[in-house]
Amino acid sequence: MKDFRRLLFIWFLLNSFTVGTIQAQTVDEIFSKFVKRHHTYQGTTLPYHVFTPDNYNPQTHYPLVLCLHGAGEVGDDSSAVKLNSMATVWARDSNQTRWPCFILVPQCPIGSQWTYSNIMLTVTDILDSLLREFSIDTNRLYVTGLSMGGYGTWDVITRFPDKFAAAIPVCGAGDSSKAASIKHIPIWDFHGALDNTVPVAGSRKMIAALENAGDTIVYTHCHNGNCTGLPVAVIAEKIQYGAKHLYTEYESGGHSIWNEAYNTVFLLPWTFSQSKTQVSTSTGREYFSALPGSPRLLQNHPNPFNPSTNISFSIPTGSFVSLKVFDLIGREVATVVLEEISAGSYTKQWSANNYPSGVYFYRLQAGSYTETKKLLLLK
């Protein structure tokens, strides 16, 4: 078990090394890549900022992160983007290299709240307009928000339980009576135990309601007054095995915990691994709800594995496909697929009987499309 956790910890460090590290970019440099717009829906006009990935390719389907600011950023200026890490963390060059995505940051008018129906409906209409304008993966829409935006995050997934692939409320609260309707949505909730602005009881109540609805919660830090917390390697292990609901309560944290929350080392890898194409909490397997408009490579299953694992991929048109496995220093160790195949979804098995434990990479090439993922062999 000790060797297992050590390898798993190395695995997650490799997957997460760009998150939470010192960034060379300034906030202004990141903000310069956001474009300001206005949008009107049923008489309500909201300003918003949108970030488009560098080298945007209409043939690629990108995820999108919806960011809902707190009460201190209401109005029509740029504070909603620049004031904290809520929006900028996703836009850092180092993170965009790993996880290129769109970022939507609407701004709530003075005197309003995200939970007002006309405001939230306008926000979702902005989102829908971007889905029409850009190539965005509707199976990988994520929402996060802090303080008032934390309330808004719980509210929007309750109103639209089939729209988002994951949610990250920070220092918020919601309607616990509706927890059963959102228990299928992966949620990582953050709060400070000493929050005097939005009492931590709001998050505790929502998490308890999800647990009472039959879901397992990973308590990374505090739980019922016990703040011993989990070792990093254990958190990594639980996430790697598909943890759907996580709760992080900082024992000495007050209201302004968002920079710590958004720079949590596993947050981005966990977020971008979520997709509405994922099903079956009993098996942890993924499936394709429909053939995508571009090739797609899924995470292997099981993972970690011994000695065999399944690798699934999908291509929308017939093409020559190469699926190969490489070791940690880039040497090719196996060819899984090397042939012309027709459009469809495929699952191929790789048996590693003759290979040592460790981290490996598998790469799919189909036409001009290339994607690489990591897998972990534990013997």
Residue 46, token pair as written in the block: 């909201």
Does a cis peptide bond (omega within 30 degrees of 0) precede residue 356? no
Alpha-carbon span 202 to 114, nearest angstrom? 17
Percentage of residues in the chain having pLDDT higher than 70: 89
Fold of 19-272: Rossmann fold (3.40.50)
Instruction: Specify the CATH number for 296-377; select among 3.40.1410.10, 3.40.50.460, 2.60.40.1930, 3.30.360.10.
Output: 2.60.40.1930
Positions of CATH 3.40.50.1820 in the chain: 19-272
| pTM (2 d.p.) | 0.73
pLDDT of residue 106: 97
Ranges in the chain annotated CATH 2.60.40.1930: 296-377
Distance, CA of 170 to CA of 168 (rounded, Å): 6
Q: Where are the alpha helices (DSSP H) in 78-163?
A: 79-82, 85-91, 93-98, 117-133, 148-159
Q: Is the pLDDT confidence value at 136 over 50?
A: yes
Minimal CA–CA distance to 40: which of 103, 109, 101? Answer: 109
Give me the pLDDT at residue 94, please.
Answer: 87
Measure the N-to-C terminal CA separation of the chain; round to a whole number of Å: 11
Question: How much is the pLDDT for 10?
Answer: 56
364, 299 in Cβ contact below 8 A?
no
For residue range 207-248, list pLDDT tens digits in order.
Answer: 999 999 988 999 999 998 899 999 988 888 888 778 899 999
**Residue 218 has what pLDDT?**
95
> Mean pLDDT throughout 60-83?
91
pLDDT in tens, 292-351: 556 888 888 888 888 999 898 888 778 899 999 998 878 899 999 999 888 777 889 999
> For residue 104, is pLDDT > 90?
yes
Work out the average pLDDT over 258-283.
Answer: 77
What is the spatial distance between Cα 164 and Cα 140, in angstroms, rounded to a whole number? 7
